[in-house]
Amino acid sequence: MYKSPVEMLIADIQHQIAKEQDEEIYKAVVHYAVNVDKEELIRALKYDRDQYERGYADGRSDAVAHGVWHKYHDYFTNRQVGWICTNCSAVTSDLSNGDTPFCPHCGAMMDNEEE
């Protein structure tokens, strides 16, 4: 899969920053006379960072989605036949659905302002 040079550069910079942080943390631990294996400490720090990043990504994916109901019209008659969710693009044929505060398909809260 193609990755842009900017993405690769950012990843390299993040990796370098993490290495420098690991080294500074190790120096601080040694400074306070704590006997620790450097490689084990670095593995623990990497594990903590990975756990944080996974937790952050999971939190973002679990976040509540928001959307707006838009009228959905029949192509041929130009008559309203339902509503469409701006979050998931699902169409519902229930004409009263425009009053529903949540999309029955994706669960998005219908609280965004119409543009």
Class of residue 103 by CB neighbours under 10 A (exposed 0-12, middle 13-18, buried 19+) = buried
Q: What is the model's pLDDT at position 114?
A: 52
What average pLDDT does the segment 52-62 reach?
74
Q: How confident is the model at residue 113 (pLDDT cuts 50, 70, 90)?
A: low
What average pLDDT does the segment 20-32 reach?
88
Higher pLDDT, 5 or 48: 48
